[in-house]
């Protein structure tokens, strides 16, 4: 079995090494990761300048681009054959609720799913590196559980798995919960201040986060000490609204408004 491993924290991130070691006992691992932190890059591709790839060891590469770039290059140019699975992480910080739309970690898995490859994103909430070594065995067991399931069943219809590990000693984890995405709102998400020269600057991400996690949400599961596994579907269409909008199909688009 061949695994492609990537992340958005950069190729030197401890979580990446933990994930690669966890999968190394299940098959061959090829790491293709960004050469620097690419958090919150979402599903962005580099189109306006050439990308450089550097090999640092056998099956270890880093790219001066985004996580999405890494998956695209790995599958289409670097690896000799398509991977059986793509695993992205272990991210230093959770990726729950609305965060998945910004996350480079999740977007790498998203790109793999678009390419028809089963994919999993894994994040450690609050990124306490004390727990990373202990989570290696947990992640290995999760990965083994995932790859033993029929691909067409687990990853059907453009679905990826988003895993969040709770910020606690792995020996105290309560178990696993299959969840839905929660919601997160920010108070004062933009900080406005003056630099030493008196010029105004803006800093995004300075506010306090308030979670709205109903029963069955990823946030509540992690808060209660469980590993959260959320199936994320790529189809963004709100199918329930389509019947209400179909009346627009009778509107004439010719003539004056």
Q: Which of 70, 91, 78 is nearest to 19 (CA)?
A: 91
Query: For residue 145, what are its two tokens?
Result: 């559980």
Residues 29, 145 share a domain: yes
Residues 116, 198 share a domain: no
Residues 97, 169 share a domain: yes
Q: Structural domain of residue 200, as residue ranges?
A: 183-213
- When pLDDT is cut at 50, 70 and 90, the band that residue 76 belongs to is very high
For the stretch 90-148, pLDDT in tens is: 999 999 998 899 999 999 999 999 999 999 999 999 867 788 889 999 999 999 999 99
Average per-residue pLDDT for the chain:
91
24-33, 89-98, 183-192, 216-225: lowest mean pLDDT where? Answer: 183-192
State mean pLDDT over 181-208. 84
Residues 55, 24 share a domain: yes
For the stretch 202-242, pLDDT in tens is: 988 766 777 777 889 999 999 999 999 999 999 989 999 99
CATH code, domain carrying 46: 3.40.1210.10
Q: Which of 246, 257, 97 is nearest to 164 (CA)?
A: 97
Q: Which of 71, 8, 15 is nearest to 35 (CA)?
A: 8
pLDDT for 207: 67
Residues 168, 120 share a domain: yes
Residues 209, 174 share a domain: no
Q: Is the pTM of this model over 0.85?
A: yes
DSSP assignments along the chain, one per residue: -EEEEE-SS-TT-HHHHHHHHHHHTTSEEEEEEESS--TT--S----SS---EEEEETTEEEESS-HHHHHHHIIIIISSS--SEEEEEEEES---GGGGGT-HHHHHHHHHHHTT--EEEEEEGGG-GGGHHHHHHHHHHHHHHHHHS-HHHHSTTTEEEEEEE-SS-GGG--EEEE-B--EEEEES-EEEEE-TTS-EEEEET-SEEEEE--TTBHHHHHHTTEEEEEEEES----TTTHHHHGGGGGS--SS--
State mean pLDDT over 173-200. 89
Within a domain: 256: no
40 or 67, which is more confident: 67
pLDDT for 211: 78
């Amino acid at each position: 079995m061949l695994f492609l491993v990537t992340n958005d924290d950069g190729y030197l991130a401890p979580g990446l090494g933990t994930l690669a070691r966890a999968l190394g006992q299940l098959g061959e691992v090829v790491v293709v990761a960004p050469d620097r932190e690419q958090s919150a890059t979402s599903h962005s591709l580099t189109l306006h300048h050439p990308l450089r790839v550097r090999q640092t060891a056998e099956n270890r590469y880093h790219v001066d681009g985004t996580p999405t770039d890494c998956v695209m290059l790995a599958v289409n140019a670097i690896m000799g054959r398509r991977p059986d699975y793509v695993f992205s992480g272990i991210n230093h910080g959770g990726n729950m609720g609305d965060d998945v739309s910004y996350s480079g970690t999740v977007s790498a898995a998203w790109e793999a799913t678009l390419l028809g490859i089963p994919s999993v994103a894994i994040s450690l909430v609050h990124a306490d590196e004390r727990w990373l070594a202990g989570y290696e065995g947990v992640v290995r067991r999760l990965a083994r559980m995932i790859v033993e399931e029929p691909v067409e069943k687990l990853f059907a219809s453009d679905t990826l798995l988003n895993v969040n590990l709770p910020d606690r000693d792995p020996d105290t984890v309560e178990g696993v919960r299959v969840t839905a995405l929660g919601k997160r709102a920010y108070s004062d998400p933009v900080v406005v201040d003056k630099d030493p020269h008196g010029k105004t600057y803006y800093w995004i991400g300075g506010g306090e986060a308030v979670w709205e996690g109903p029963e069955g949400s990823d946030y509540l599961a992690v808060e209660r000490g469980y590993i959260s596994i959320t199936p994320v579907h790529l189809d963004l269409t709100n199918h329930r609204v389509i019947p209400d909008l179909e009346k627009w199909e009778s509107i004439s688009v010719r003539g004056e408004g």
